[in-house]
Amino acid sequence: MRRKLKTYILLILSVFLIGCNKKYSGEENVPIDYNYESFSSVTLMESSEGIVKAYNFAEGKKKYIEDVKGIEDFKYTKDTIVYLKGTSEGNELPDNSLIIRKKGKGLIEVNKHHSYLDIKLSKDGNKIAYRAFEEDSYDSVKGVMIYDVAENKEKRINTEVVISGNVYDWIDENNLVYYGSRGKESNLKGLFKYDFKNNKEDLIAPIEDGFIVYLQALDKENFMVMNFKRDHYELGIFNIENKEYNLVESKISKVFYSLKYEESIFIMAEDINGKSSIYKLESDKSVKRMIYDFPKNINDSGGMASDENGNVYFLGYDKNKEESKVYMIKKQDNSVNLIIDKEGNYHMYKREL
């Protein structure tokens, strides 16, 4: 959610920063100590006239939390908030910092590198994976790095695998799953898992046909993958325990978001005709389309989240994504409900479980 925000000045009386300090041009660039206890399982952020307001959501009702500013990405658990704070724009990449608010740790700022992208937060909030860049260029990528919050230390993954882009996610608090290639001679491509508790890497499954373009953990045992095979896309769910792969019958060509509540799996995706919608995975591994013409269009960059009762929240619009409305798929009957009729520039976030 990269925007130059002209917000009210927020005063911070006491902030504990760990790491190297950057030179800020003014109070608007000082990291803000947001309270992780204020955010519920669903957070809606609304940008209007230079002010971004954060709201909690439960059973279709919103509750104001506070104003936020300068956030480029945002992840959170019950006791941790992680976000990217931009200090200046660049030609290819922003100059930003990784800001961490962890219970019992105070405020941590990580700014060793020029840019941080694609932050992924472990389920307990103790580890953060991200792509780091040394300069204002995608060619300066250092690869995927790990910040250990408990040790206040950045770490490299002890691997020879070259991880492909942002195709990685935490399956639990200690294990990171990723797709990439290993070895110049063998050029083994596959899905790998790194266990940070035992400092051990395992090959989960070789990928001999196609390459993985999307990976998202659904729970501690399952993750969703999208494999591009020459002229078509293949969507599937991989079980990390029994290494079982189940192909999902669909005409989906691109996945934006996926989430799991109990036994229900929802996917925000684009079909082969370029139309975005939300799908629900059925027990027979087929997908049921949940959205047709209400709303007219899905905001596929606006996020998707579910609350404690399994209601799914998303954004829809008629003509412009920045004039979206907020909708909810009700758990009890799968009905689609308009819950905020006011058009706005919104973004939906979900808490890591």
Contact 129, 176 (CB under 8 A): yes
Does the pLDDT of residue 50 top 70, yes or no?
yes
Half-sphere exposure of 121 (CA within 13 A, CB side): 26
For residue 3, the model assigns a pLDDT of 38
User: Residue 269's Cα: distance from chain center in Å?
Assistant: 15
Q: Pull the structure tokens for residue 138.
A: 């995608």
Contact 168, 176 (CB under 8 A): yes
Distance CA 115, CA 69 (A): 18
Q: Model's pTM, two decimal places?
A: 0.84
Distance CA 57, CA 267 (A): 20
Contact 206, 200 (CB under 8 A): no
Q: Note the pLDDT tens digit of each residue in 144-185.
A: 999 999 899 999 999 989 999 999 999 999 999 999 998 765
Percent of the chain whose predicted confidence (pLDDT) is above 90: 58
Does the pLDDT of residue 221 top 80, yes or no?
yes
For residue 185, the model assigns a pLDDT of 56
**Average pLDDT of the residues in 43-60:** 85
Q: Note the pLDDT tens digit of each residue in 63-111.
A: 898 888 778 888 998 889 999 988 788 889 989 999 998 888 888 999 9
